[in-house]
A and B are shown apart, each in its own frame.
Chain A
Amino acid sequence: AQKVTQAQTEISVVEKEDVTLDCVYETRDTTYYLFWYKQPPSGELVFLIRRNSFDEQNEISGRYSWNFQKSTSSFNFTITASQVVDSAVYFCALSEESDSWGKLQFGAGTQVVVTP
């Protein structure tokens, strides 16, 4: 069963618009980690953030922000004032204490297309 759901397959925005990527996860563990990775057209995977299940504080890093809500099992990602360089596929992932920790379970990804 899919443990990480990224319902949005593709989002297209015009430069300077904000874009929010949804991530819903499923776990029975109380201790787990959530991640976001960026995969630009060049293909590499760029680590963006890791958040543990006990830290529900929202985080902001430049134009990026993350909203973690355990009550809805969501870890959403917002890009503010998007730029063309933000065009990429973004993956949300889950790592569980009960499942060898090192096993990242990825969502299907959301393609973000930013046009000038």
Chain B
Amino acid sequence: NAGVMQNPRHLVRRRGQEARLRCSPMKGHSHVYWYRQLPEEGLKFMVYLQKENIIDESGMPKERFSAEFPKEGPSILRIQQVVRGDSAAYFCASSPAGGGAKEDEQYFGPGTRLTVT
């Protein structure tokens, strides 16, 4: 039973390039969450998605960041025109249900370490 998959595990981008981070939830999970962990800090919520819907994007920076979870395929976190401050670990989590349901425990992927040079 595969866990949450994220790729790439490490990504190096130059300032101004685009970064695309992928997350495949656990089998049977239809809720996906993205978090960012800056160096030496805790995790900060970015966005919560269900298939084809954004439920809560209150933690997403207003510019350059976008996320999607299409009907088919993985969830994508896209960062346009990256800057050095975007260097961080980006974690994806998934759950089988949301809304406080008994089954909404979030299981995390291994993370993508983004380095902007």
Contact = CB atoms under 8 A, between A and B. Distances in A.
Interface of A: 31, 33, 35, 37, 43-47, 50, 91, 93, 95, 97, 100-109
A44 B110 CA distance: 5
Contacts, number: 67
B56 A43 contact: no
A103 B57 CA distance: 10
B42 interface: yes
B56 to A, nearest CB: 4
A35 B106 CA distance: 10
Closest 9 pairs between A and B when the two form their complex, measured CB to CB: A45-B108, A100-B56, A102-B48, A106-B42, A106-B43, A108-B42, A101-B100, A103-B45, A44-B110
Interface string B72-97: 00000000000000000101010100
B100 A97 contact: yes
Q: Which of B33, B42, B104 has the most CB of A within 10 A?
A: B42
Contacts of A108: 41-42
Contacts of B104: 101-102
A91 B43 contact: yes
Contact of A107 (B42, B98, B100): B42
B105 A47 contact: yes
Interface of B: 31, 33, 35, 41-45, 48, 55-56, 58-59, 89, 91, 93, 95, 98-100, 104-111, 113
Contacts of B108: 37, 44-47
Contact of A47 (B59, B91, B106): B106
A102 B44 contact: no
B105 A103 contact: no
A104 B35 contact: yes
Nearest to A91: B42
Contacts of B43: 45, 91, 93, 104, 106
Given A43-B89, A91-B42, A108-B41, A102 B110 contact: no
Contact of A103 (B41, B58, B91, B109): B58
